Structure 1
């Protein structure tokens, strides 16, 4: 909600920093569309689809619209207009639209901000306004809006301007005129005399809260149930302060609570849509799917649900905003071929591409089946795939279900798309950076597209390991065993953690998914185990703990896992005091520097409309897409032509606009990591030469094999602890993995 921006500004002034959890950490949120199976999505008529009601409009409104409130018959809102004077206008309009009534027009100074707009059951209007009285303090007042003026001022700063361990995140007014204050770990309800009439501490951090259809307070928290993090809801009685039992919500993250209507006690919103929840039968249902409605959720705010079939919101674009009404539709996909995209961790860009693609043509409709906000997403996806229920397109980064990318390829889940590129009029294999294209391929075939990459390598002090790229496993072992006991391989907590760090960059030498063979009984792997089991320290004691950068500079930590783009070369040079070697992971042959891809898209081998699937995923490999999105791409562009513009931008010492219209400022920012800080500069020719050399000499694709590595590390612990010999441990590893490869 927009009015929260004012509160956020207040708390940031006091030095609070709040983190957001995204997929993979979260990046990204989202929800699985309510289909019983993936194949069901291909045939089922689209539900939870809304479109803008063309019969609804509001005329003659000045300024940017804020804080939308719905009564039984009317909409209330205010607008903000900045210029020589800051003007706040309050409006009332029929919920059917039309010309609004101007209730009040107020002038404010540049230190005064309008926050909230409230209604009680009699449509009496209340507003909160914050005035900065100094650089560190503010005063927030509650007013009655009457006869075009703010009246009956009440200083509510004691509610809003809290300090210490508590802070206000949301403020509501119930139908009785009581204020509901949502803090980080408690709820307080104040009457009109600003006295606390009830309060409750649900235990733990409150993610968000809101009011139910009956006026109760709905509290959302992240809790642990059966050793898993889940979103839960508790309902607070506003009179007694009593809390209900927990209700588990089938979502990974909830953005906000919306007051319920119809059969639903409340609605909750995620980045994918709006869901209704009935407390009596613990039933939740998707009401409004943003992507299927061709709507970017970032473009709407202050959603108010009149009924499950009618929703009001503020729709914003770069030029203006307006109040719209969305009506539910029953859309049949007659004449359009439905293509499903399975996404384990979706992002906003993918959703925007789907929306734009669906609007751009009438032959296909792409539907996203989004698991990124699902509990136990990997289990659910794996169960569907094991049952032979496959989508048309896979969207992924490191894994699908519980399978690594290489395992998916070995199982034949992906279509070889080499022929599609060769026939494409706008994309050629020569357009892709040669080493990047080689890394994309598996056994000479191309199974996915990706618009961005980084380089993964192992860094060390050049004075220790030399400047040349690459080394064998035996050389790696000899080096680690030559260091004294005071050194650390990584800043790891245990020997198995060291092993995981090394296996991330070497795993491909020990597994062949096509042949279903593993080589953990090889001498190369034994060299790794012996390196991790050396006399090097496992972790830093509390007494001698210093910053990790300082330990790297002093040589206490031997290795750093580098995830690199051209502009990061300067950071590693500075970190190692100019004595850096981009040595690479140990390997049978090659440099040990690998290419890591971010978001990837693949066509299912079971897809019945592969031409349509290619028509959708090809856009991510076009010059237009990568060039226009150069500033938001993950890592480095995979196309050669766009890469050349990309590095030219990084080298620029003056503000410039590139050929794609991207405006670049010279990089003069500051980088900080614990006690290590440095001012960054535009990339130099020497730094670019280093990156280019690493890129050209890279020798494979960086793929995570989480299940394999977990099994290997667990069995290796028996060797590290002395319970098994080296040979016994590797034989057990081989045996454990045989069953996994036969799945």
Structure 2
């Protein structure tokens, strides 16, 4: 095992709110408890990386059951239990049965259990055993509403107790999709909306054990019950014998599911990788990414380790199955049998290494398809979000890996500052790849988006998804002009001093957003000049200083759309990742909404910024293979049609068309209790297309200079320095940096 890092992660949660910073940098997820007071939890994690090689073999689970209609509900003592409808020809109806299946053979392990009429009209999502009985968690759908029903029945199918959750007022069930049951065969534990409740043997409420975002639990090999909180990654335990809860015994970022492993071990899934927890030392070992073992976009049903030490992941996925002489797509159960090899004994294969902040599901599918087409190649993914909860921590970890000589073939750069690393010579210039590849059809893409990161005659990263940036404002205030200048906004604000005027208008945000729109004008009037002692820069700093400073809590709880709809904000910086963002801004301003170009020293423009981008390492020994992967990433399936702006022209226009086609006059989106109209017209779609076709790349500033500016203006906004002092120290520090960089 290789020790990677020991660090402190401070976070806990019931509520998570993700916002994008005004300057293109990702802000970390903000966490608060029920009264919105931040909770500070310090949890130390020892993270190890398994130095073995894991190889999976996927097989469809077939045998004495109809895999098309089988629904997994329970894993117990190495047996998988599925529910299935059995056709009774004499009665002319279906009966729900429970099938015990041996996952090694796909054969029945015992007799099927007929569940009785109570189950025939319900959707059974999961089950556990309690003493000698079964407990079933089932849904009864009634139009748009659903009822969740717990049923206890004996192993001959006789119903003992049945209880709807709506009848238990102590148990929260706001989101009926997040309901789980866990049993240690003596006690029953219900997880609903993050709350862990202990039930009595009559399925009634007994007491609340945990209340902090928990979504999964299992009985560990040591007899304790373990629960994970998917927002914070915190793990807690409950000892039924002593009736003791231990909260936050461990933190595993992105933990989503927990399973019993071998003796003294828990297996923890993050949704795209598997980790092992040593219950004695609480050390966490990263075993493998699911891509390593042939899995991409699947949700596991259960995971277990057998006596030989092999790991088995049972899952369901859409698969073509022959039915009545025709091929139909159905959800079919599969098993991935995974064996660990030492590096010395592993089957030989070339390895492509991919580094990313996080790996999106659409990219994982591209990687998996590539692996299927090239079985001789092994792909290894390093996902930095799995070990680091803070964005700055991620950048520090990347820097440390580069210094240590870590070599990756492909970089997935969502949120990672490309120029910071391209300046160090880390990335290949991709223009020669494009020019020499006759199969690459550049006309398929919006070139302004695809090459948003072009630096002169160099292109170090391709962009697949973008932000579109503009101003959106009340046209009764600003009129029907095509573009707005900084002076237009300053002048208009003079007429509205008694209201906040700018949505999300706190000093730091106002300063950064305006500076970012035109570095050239504010910093001396010429590209490459950094003159802070200009009338324009001092005017911007003074203007931003008239807006209040906000605490982190104010930023978390603020609702820009409410401010606009109440008439307290007349202007907003619009940075849209997709159609929904556009519609929310348009809906908040209503029939007064107008999207304006940004007037700058180079003209009036909409701007385009990269959201998803990819690069090839100059150190790669698999550059041709890496290029093939990059091309696949550009054309990845768009599962979020309309929610993301793709540079692929067809995907972009399909997203707009889909959003328009599904829109209704009463369409609305509820944000923090506020209902915002999102009805889309054909004219809206044309505005978005015009933005995309006309946008130019957002101006970029040297990352180090930006850091200096952020630091020094923070002292001004805090009242610790005057405007004159701030300008002088900025000029001095930036000049010093430029001299040292020559």
TM-score by length of 2: 0.77
Q: Measured at CA, do residues 500 and 183 of structure 1 come closer, stay the same or move farther in structure 2, by a change above 3 Å?
A: same
Partners in 1 of 2:431 and 2:125 — Cα distance? 56
Structure-2 residue corresponding to 1:79? 84
| Structure 1 counterpart of 2:302 | 302
Specify the alignment match of 1:398 in structure 2: 415
**Deviation per CA, 1:656-696, whole angstroms, max 9, x where unpaired?**
xxxxxxxx656666134665643624423xx4554444344
Aligned match of 1:233: 235
Q: Which of these residues, 335, 339, 359, is aligned with residue 328 of structure 1?
A: 339
Following superposition of structure 1 onto structure 2, how do residues 146-161 of structure 1 map, counting pairs within 5 Å?
146=156, 149-151=157-159, 153-157=160-164, 161=167
Deviation for aligned residue 1:698: 2.6
How far is the alpha carbon of 1:33 from its aligned partner? 14
Spell out, residue by residue over 1:457-480, the C-alpha distance to the aligned partner (whole angstroms, 9 max, x if none): 12233444454444555x257525
Q: Does 1:52 align with 2:58?
A: yes
User: Matches of 2:718 and 2:16 in 1, distance apart?
Assistant: 38
Distance 1:678-1:603 versus aligned 2 partners, 3 A rule: same
Tell me whether 380-389 or 560-569 shows the greater mean CA deviation. 560-569
Question: Residues 472-621 of structure 1: matches in 2 within 5 Å?
Answer: 473=486, 475-476=487-488, 478-479=490-491, 482-492=494-504, 494-506=506-518, 518-534=530-546, 548-549=560-561, 551-552=563-564, 556-564=568-576, 575-585=588-598, 587-621=600-634
Question: Does 1:694 find its partner at 2:699?
Answer: no
Specify every segment of 5 or more residues in structure 2 that has no aligned partner in the other structure, as ranges.
1-13, 21-25, 30-44, 319-328
Could you say what secondary structure the match of 1:619 adopts?
helix
Quote the Cα distance in structure 1 between the aligned partners of 2:690 and 2:237: 60
- Counterpart of 1:731 in structure 2 is 728
CA distance in 2, matches of 1:455, 1:728: 36
1:354 aligns with 2:367: yes
SS across alignment from 1:277: strand
Within the alignment, does 1:292 sit opposite 2:302 as a pair? no
Q: Is the 8 A contact 1:440 1:701 kept in 2?
A: no
When structure 1 is superposed on structure 2, of 267-276 and 63-72 the one drifting more is 63-72
The answer as to whether partners of 1:457 and 1:505 remain within 8 angstroms in 2 is: no
Mapped to 1, the partners of 2:228 and 2:212 lie a distance apart of: 10
Find the counterpart in structure 1 of residue 36 from structure 2. Answer: none
Aligned position for 2:433: 420
Residue 114 of structure 1 aligns with which residue? 124
Q: 1:213 aligns with which of 218, 221, 224?
A: 221
Of stretches 309-318 and 352-361 in structure 1, the one that deviates more from structure 2 is 309-318
1: CA distance, partners of 2:714 / 2:570: 22
The equivalences for 1:577-726 within 5 A come to: 577-585=590-598, 587-621=600-634, 625=635, 629=638, 632=641, 635-640=644-649, 643=652, 665=662, 670-672=667-669, 677-678=676-677, 680-684=679-683, 687-701=684-698, 711-720=708-717, 722-726=719-723
Between the aligned partners of 2:519 and 2:116, the Cα distance in structure 1 is 66
Residue number in structure 2 paired with 1:373: 386
The answer as to whether partners of 1:184 and 1:205 remain within 8 angstroms in 2 is yes
Question: For the Cα contact (< 8 Å) 1:586–1:592, is it kept in 2?
Answer: yes
Partner of 2:9: none
Which residue number in structure 2 is paired with residue 9 of structure 1?
A: none
Give CA-to-partner distance per residue, 1:65-114, whole Å, 9 cap, x none.
32132326x44443356998453222234454253143223454664343
Distance 1:470 1:733, change over 3 A: farther
1:448-501 residue CA offsets vs partner (Å, 9 max, x unmatched): 22223231112233444454444555x257525633421424234642232234
Whole-angstrom distance in 2 between the partners of 1:345 and 1:91: 38
Alignment TM-score, normalising by the size of structure 1:
0.77
Q: For residue 613 of structure 1, give the secondary structure of its aligned residue in structure 2.
A: helix
Is the contact between residue 418 and residue 445 of structure 1 (CA under 8 Å) also seen in structure 2?
Answer: yes
Between the aligned partners of 1:602 and 1:268, the Cα distance in structure 2 is 31
C-alpha displacement at 1:416, in angstroms? 1.0
Where does residue 105 of structure 2 map in the other structure?
97
Structure 1, gaps ≥5 residues long? 1-16, 223-228, 652-663
How far apart in 1 are the matches of 2:520 and 2:183? 59
Per-residue deviation, residues 600-619 of structure 1 (Å, max 9, x unmatched): 11111222332221121112
Residues 562 and 106 (structure 1), Cα distance of their counterparts in 2 relative to 1, 3 Å cut: same
Change (3 A) 1:585 1:527: farther
Name the structure where strand makes up a greater proportion of residues: 2
CA RMSD in angstroms, aligned pairs only: 4.4
